[in-house]
Chain A
Amino acid sequence: MSAVDWSRLQFATTSIYHFLFVPLTIGLAFLTAILQTVWYRKGHPEHLRLTRFFGTLLVINVAVGVVTGLVQEFQFGMNWSSYSRFVGDVFGAPLAMEGLAAFFLESVFLGLWLFGWDRLSRRVHLATIWAVAVGGALSAAFIMAANSWMQRPVGYQLNAAGDRAQLTDVWAVLTNIVFAWAYLHVLAASLVTAGVVMLAVSAWQLRRGATLFQHSAKLAVIVLIPAAMLALFFGGRLGINETKYQPMKIAAAEGQWTTCQPCSFSVFQIGGGNNDQTPTKIIAIPHLLSVLATGTWNGQVVGLSELQTQYSQQYGPGNYVPNVFIQYWSMRVMAYGGVVLLLLGLWGAWLVWRKRLADAKWFVRVAVWAIPVPFVMNTAGWALTENGRQPWIVQGLQLVRDAVSPSVSVATVVTSLTVFVLLYATLGVVDVLLMARFARRELAPTDVAAQEEQPALHFTY
């Protein structure tokens, strides 16, 4: 394996790991803020207890998300210095804006929220958790703007030497249509993630008779249903735009080698990797791929083979087909998972409506085990979007193999990858143990709220 391959492996590993924490942070910050708002307006102590309970999970999770985010920021320069030189003019700006507009907001106000329970008025303290939530959502906006530019570069022009992309229109970068749908999709997915986690934890607690958690289960269900529907809808809109700007990505997601019109969608298929252009489609749904990819009943989807010929003519000889297996299955994992979670939400809503949630044995059992689903889906989503961009690092402008740091050797990257993998594995175990410990913690039946409002001298957060 070359330095490019190792660098890719490292970036993929650390990004996927980082993104296990990010969506939960973004979503859970909003759900915690909602719980605290309900407490602020109604004054029932149970909402305060739930706020603090889920706030603790949020804080543990934020910590890992923040420190693993540092690795991401450093890696552009460390491993992809040629990329950084080529696109820094365009790509650096949103990252700097993210720091100024979002990270300060999130970090400073999280400190105020954690330590400010007895120092701030209730109203101001409520505002701090909302500031944390807004900060998280804003940071995703800037990073998605930067990422969307890699999928569909806009608002730039190449310099005379052709070795640098220079920003000419920042507004175009921030209104990129791919960015709009991708960002909304990520926000909805974050709420789905947090909704499922809150539902699963509440279900676990309900199984043990902690009826207090009916409130949080109800909130989780109320958020989960629209969030899952929106995530599917926004993802669909994003797909249609990708068909326009990255047709290879969508054709590979269906394993569609030949051009078709109208195009059917296979529920699953056997075979059909990069070396097998005649997969056996099982249960083909007519017209569905046309609808998903183009938004029309009879839309045309250009096949991989034709795109490959086209790209070879346009950009020179080379293999422009991404890994089809990853594309095909990551798309399905995400879509099927989304539907499953939506059904779970609807099941929960029905039980809430019939006021039978607390004693719905099967529902709480299933809900507890639903916890890994959104994380698998989030990972699949990134696999779909980033693997589908290959072999480009910036679609049509720079290949991944031209983006790597020329001064960094294979041995160096292998060293750093080993360090990160060992460190991340350890932290993963620690984090899961801590999250599980706090998620399963019993709340004392009375007076906890009053006690918790006075933080002890030692670490209270």
Chain B
Amino acid sequence: MSLVSFWFIVLVVLWTGFLVLEGFDFGVGMLSGVVGRDDQGRALALQTIGPLWDGNEVWLIVAGAGTFAAFPGWYATMFSGFYLAMVLLLVALILRGLSFEFAGRRDGRRWRRAWSAATTYGSLLVPLLIGVALGNLLHGVPIGADQEYAGNFVDLLNPYSLFCGLTLVLLCLLHGASFLALRTSGEVRGRALGVGRRIALPAAAAVVGFVIWTQALAGDGSPLSLLPGGVAVVAALVAAWQVGRGRDGLAFAATAVTMAATVVTLFVALYPRVMVSTQGAANDLTVTNTASSPYTLRVMTVTAAILFPVVLAYQGWTYYVFRRRVGGTDTTVADSTAGPAPGAR
């Protein structure tokens, strides 16, 4: 395998890791007001991700910086082309990130309400925008022969990309609900199970729709291109059947696999392109025409080979340390089923 293909896979792993891990954080954020009806309940729901979300978000930062290092041409076109969407994404990430930190630091209804809104809507907006952005990589945007973006903000709002955004939001909701069921107890867990049952079918339907649409848009019918989509559909159906039924570990594993397979489906359909141009295939950005030099890729490979296992080890350990259910006295239930996110790493 060539070095550029290897780095494409590394980036897919980073995006997958980010969305599997931070995906449930987004879901928990969106659902915090629903499953926890008062301040106390909200805080309890958010406590499940309190120690974890910041580390999960680093996967996004590394995916961005990794793109810069391995495929500068891709990074330059994507970030400048999606400019206003990126500004919105940054605002959402900033307000959401600070909401976890600031909400509990002062009393007062207005203060709490404002930061609760930041948690909820920030957690909604981020996966929506990321879904739309990733969808656009495959759907295609106007890119000229000079690799520069030649469109505007409205070009990003095409049906396929919007559907990708919707799918990602629904999937985060389901993933978050199954995570909450796994990590809480008592009333909050009960409501998380209820929400999960209600979201399960629409989310699974969206994943099936996404897989079919993606295949129609860019699939070549080869086994390799069908495999991740097939896994996504099967896992989504298992999730739809299991979420909210009480087998929390299995349900969470199913939503995690669904998330991972959905992300992989998109990138497999994309390869070897990294951004499709609507101005002719000759203008497509690919792994080869945007990549860094072989020397840089080798340096990055050695660095990642050394550091990545270490990161996985200590981040995995964090999940082990915070494996107990929050907010209840019946921690014995938790320890039997709750492991660190399976399939997540």
Contacts and interface: CB of A to CB of B under 8 A. Distances in A.
Interface of A: 59-60, 63-64, 66-68, 70-71, 73-74, 76-79, 81-82, 84-85, 87-93, 95-101, 103-105, 107-112, 114-116, 119-120, 166-168, 170, 405-408, 412, 415-416, 419-420, 423, 427, 430, 434, 437-438, 457-461
A89 B94 contact: no
Contact of A63 (B71, B86, B98, B308): B98
Contacts of B53: 111
Contact of A406 (B148, B307, B315): B148
Contacts of A96: 62, 65-66, 68-70, 300, 303
Instruction: Name the residue in A63, A68, A407, A412 with the highest tally of chain B Cβ atoms < 10 Å from its Cβ.
Output: A407
Nearest to A115: B51
Contacts of B104: 458-461
Contacts of A97: 303, 307
Given A85-B73, A92-B69, A111-B50, A63 B80 contact: no
A181 B65 CA distance: 25
A96 B69 CA distance: 6
Nearest to B71: A88
A266 to B, nearest CB: 43
B54 A419 contact: no
B51 A104 contact: no
Interface in B236-290: none
Contact of A99 (B52, B61, B93, B103): B61
Nearest to A426: B95
A427 B98 contact: yes
Given A66-B97, A97-B307, 20 more contacts: A74-B64, A74-B86, A78-B79, A85-B76, A92-B70, A92-B72, A92-B75, A92-B296, A93-B69, A96-B65, A103-B61, A104-B315, A108-B54, A111-B52, A167-B292, A405-B83, A408-B83, A415-B87, A458-B44, A459-B46
A66 B97 CA distance: 9
Nearest to B53: A111
A64 B95 CA distance: 10
B327 interface: yes
A71 B80 CA distance: 13
* Majority secondary structure of chain A interface residues (helix, strand, loop or mixed): helix
A82 B146 CA distance: 11
Contacts of A70: 61, 90, 93-94
A437 to B, nearest CB: 7
Contacts of B299: 93, 167, 170
A103 B83 CA distance: 24
Contacts of A63: 97-98, 101-102
B292 to A, nearest CB: 5
Sorted nearest first, the 8 A-B pairs with minimum C-beta distance are A88-B72, A77-B79, A459-B104, A92-B69, A92-B68, A111-B51, A99-B62, A81-B76
A236 to B, nearest CB: 33
A70 B150 CA distance: 25
Max count, chain A CB within 10 A of own CB: residue among B51, B83, B308:
B83
Select the residue from A73, A108, A109 with max chain B CB neighbours within 10 A.
A108
A434 B102 CA distance: 8
A438 B86 CA distance: 33
Interface residues of B, number: 73
Interface of B: 39-40, 43-44, 46-47, 50-55, 57-58, 61-62, 64-73, 75-81, 83-84, 86-87, 90-91, 93-95, 97-98, 101-106, 146-150, 292-293, 295-296, 299-300, 303-304, 307-308, 311, 314-315, 318, 321-322, 326-327
A109 B311 CA distance: 11
Given A95-B65, A104-B55, A408 B80 contact: yes
B70 A71 contact: no
A103 B91 CA distance: 20
Contacts of B91: 419, 423
A457 B103 CA distance: 14
A107 B100 CA distance: 14
Contacts of A87: 72
A101 B102 CA distance: 27
Contacts of A108: 54-55, 58, 311, 314-315, 318
B303 A84 contact: no
A84 B76 contact: yes
Given A111-B52, A166-B296, A74 B311 contact: no
A43 B111 CA distance: 37
B296 A412 contact: no
24 contacts: A59-B101, A63-B102, A73-B65, A74-B90, A77-B76, A78-B83, A81-B79, A84-B68, A89-B292, A90-B296, A93-B300, A95-B68, A99-B65, A100-B304, A100-B308, A107-B57, A107-B58, A108-B318, A119-B321, A167-B295, A412-B83, A416-B87, A419-B87, A427-B94
Nearest to B56: A107
A166 B293 contact: yes
Contacts of B81: 407
Nearest to B72: A88
A111 B318 contact: yes
A116 B322 CA distance: 8
B203 to A, nearest CB: 28
B84 A416 contact: yes
A85 B65 contact: no
Contacts of B94: 67-68, 70-71, 423, 427
A415 to B, nearest CB: 7
